[in-house]
Amino acid sequence: MLSRRNFLTRSAAVLASAAAISSRAEAAAIPEAPTNASAAMQPPLPPPSGQDYQPVVTLNGWTLPWRMNGEWKEFHLVAEEVTREIAPGMTVNLWGYNGQTPGPTIEAVEGDRVRIYVTNKLPEHTTVHWHGMLVPNGMDGVGGLTQPHIPPGKTFVYEFLLKKSGTFMYHPHSDEMVQMAMGMMGMVAVHPRDGSLHRVDRDFVFIMSAYRFNPGTSLPQVTEMTDFNIWTWNARVFPGIDVLPARLGDRVRIRMGNLTMTNHPIHLHGHDFRVTSTDGGWVPETAQSPETTTDVPVGAVRVLEFLADAPGDWAFHCHKSHHTMNAMGHDVKNFIGVPPRALSQALNRAAPGAMAMGTTGMADMAEMGMPLPPNTLPMMTGTGPFGPIEMGGMFSMVKVREGLAPNDYRDPGWYQHPQGSVAYEVNVAQAGEPARPPGAGDSPGMEMPGGMDMPGMKPGGGHNNH
């Protein structure tokens, strides 16, 4: 039974150990909080002497420098307002850490003792939760439950031993809906103590976040629940997302965290991969299966690994096609197959002077160069060596090349396909039309999009009346 006396003694013990921690931390000056506002991928931080690992690179981001203080590896995060270029043409106001969102990747080694200072420069309180990490309860960062919230202007310290290697995330557990919708998040990579375990040649990391920006604005709608329109990797959309270069024959790891409000089936072309770990730990080899798409659930990490054995520019993207589009593409009605003349007549009645578009699909829109509201990206964009790529959002490329230098992460440019290895047009007139049944492929007549009344078009389309 817990007597009052016992309780007081215990409380005193807790206070004494808390005091010990803070006097330890205060014994040395608070470490510098480096800052970086650039969306350019920063070079990986090589391991200090005595440690052996292949450092991670963060797409459009960086690794947080640290200092050693006795046996402690000390980091300093500053929660603050930031601006972020989502892609050239769109810069927004968000919250993040140390100058950008997502915050810098925290990188360390299993068995390290880490001390992480968190300074709150936001206008409201915050905390940092170490998602997936095995920490003492009082270091878990759940405001109100395991610690007081960190008030604006204050600095708190988290101290724990890194019990296991793997890939984790950090984010607030204070006013979560707002703070995550404003971009408060980052990744943690913990390497195995034994540098020969789970070794790769290239180790990429990014986190997925999603936003609702009304066209022309630069502040996200933080109360949005479902209708997001900017789908990002490290708060960037295609063509603003860094490519992932790999040398032919490299073993490549990609660590992906998801703090959006929906799942993302991430697909890699040209290779098969295995999911080697999650935020729960390493997946035993006997439980891994070959995949080309893996779903990254909400609030989870998936880490894929593959041998880069096929030269080329390989698309790497979310397979929800709305997530490879930017704003503006979500409220457009489907006019495919509608006769352009009927459509312009109807549009002219509703909105004189409006332009009929998209009657053959939406590919034209990538090339149309339509005027957009300021600070708004076209819904699909990007140009490749063969024309428009017609993507946006969560899309990038794994670029496999012979002979890249080991730590060279620069974009190697477009792949030069060996002669005769690209899909090509056949001359049908010369080869002769293939035989098809009469009428095959003729348009059956199209239903009009909901609510539109078109002269001369029967509701329900042609087939219903056969």
Residue 296 C-beta: closest distance to Cu ion, Å: 8
Considering the complex, state which of residue 154 and residue 320 has its C-beta at the smaller distance from Cu ion: 320
Considering the complex, state which of residue 173 and residue 323 has its C-beta at the smaller distance from Cu ion: 323
Residue 263 C-beta: closest distance to Cu ion, Å: 7
The dihedrals phi and psi of 464, each to the nearest 5 degrees, come to: -60, -25
Bridge partners of 118?
77, 156
Q: Look at phi and psi of residue 462 and say left if phi exceeds 0, alpha if psi is from -120 to 50, else beta.
A: alpha
Neighbours of 325 (CB within 10 A): 27
Give the interface with Cu ion as residue ranges (CB under 5 A).
264, 318, 320, 323
387 by DSSP, 3-state: which?
Answer: strand
Q: Helices (H) and strands (E) in the chain — how many of each? A: 5, 23
Residue 262 C-beta: closest distance to Cu ion, Å: 7
Nearest to 366 by CA among 392, 335, 338: 392
Residue 323 C-beta: closest distance to Cu ion, Å: 3
Query: Cis peptide leading into 284, omega within 30 of 0?
Result: no
Considering the complex, state which of residue 64 and residue 379 has its C-beta at the smaller distance from Cu ion: 379
Residue 353 C-beta: closest distance to Cu ion, Å: 36
Considering the complex, state which of residue 318 and residue 404 has its C-beta at the smaller distance from Cu ion: 318
Considering the complex, state which of residue 236 and residue 323 has its C-beta at the smaller distance from Cu ion: 323
User: CA-to-CA distance for 30 and 457, rounded, in angstroms?
Assistant: 73
User: CA-to-CA distance for 231 and 234, rounded, in angstroms?
Assistant: 10
User: CA-to-CA distance for 204 and 207, rounded, in angstroms?
Assistant: 11
Considering the complex, state which of residue 67 and residue 330 has its C-beta at the smaller distance from Cu ion: 330
Residue 312 C-beta: closest distance to Cu ion, Å: 23
Query: Cis peptide leading into 239, omega within 30 of 0?
Result: yes
205, 167 in Cβ contact below 8 A?
A: yes
Spell 118-150 as b/e; 16+ CB within 10 A means b.
bbbbbeebbbbbbbbbebeeebbbebeebbebb
Considering the complex, state which of residue 98 and residue 294 has its C-beta at the smaller distance from Cu ion: 294
User: CA-to-CA distance for 334 and 451, rounded, in angstroms?
Assistant: 12
Considering the complex, state which of residue 239 and residue 393 has its C-beta at the smaller distance from Cu ion: 393
Nearest to 111 by CA among 57, 157, 160, 50: 160
DSSP for 349-364, please give it: HHSTTPPP--BTBSHH
Nearest to 161 by CA among 106, 115, 194, 104: 115
Considering the complex, state which of residue 33 and residue 377 has its C-beta at the smaller distance from Cu ion: 377
Considering the complex, state which of residue 133 and residue 300 has its C-beta at the smaller distance from Cu ion: 300
Residue 216 C-beta: closest distance to Cu ion, Å: 24
Residue 361 C-beta: closest distance to Cu ion, Å: 21
Residue 266 C-beta: closest distance to Cu ion, Å: 8
239, 87 in Cβ contact below 8 A?
A: yes
Residue 181 C-beta: closest distance to Cu ion, Å: 17
